Amino acid sequence: MSYRVFFNAHAARSFRKLPRNVQVRCKPDIDALKDNPRPFGSEKLSGVEETYRIRVGDYRILYEVHDDVLLVLVVEVGHRREVYG
């Protein structure tokens, strides 16, 4: 079973604004969510239903897992000082 990975409009815009080298570093981790939406090192965010985060250096990828439809929805990508606010 493979999940589909989609970006919401805000996350897609945020991802495109990241420096190219950061995009290259984040892309494999985002693609890996297709096979394992809860990889080692991911953490569930408290207070938000089914939302997780993975770290890529100083950058964070926040995403929701929808197991019923095999979907991973990326909701935020950005520097750690900006994504939690």
CATH at residue 33: 3.30.2310.20
Q: Which domain holds residue 29?
A: 4-83
Provide the mean pLDDT of the chain: 95
Say which DSSP state 67 is in: G
- What's the whole-model pTM score? 0.93
What is the per-residue pLDDT across 5-27, written as a single tens digit (0 to 9) for each? 999 999 999 999 999 999 999 99
Domains identified in the chain, total number: 1
Give yes or no for residue 63 having a pLDDT over 70: yes
Q: How many CB atoms are located within 10 Å of the residue 64 CB? A: 17
Q: How far apart are CA 14 and CA 34, in angstroms?
A: 20
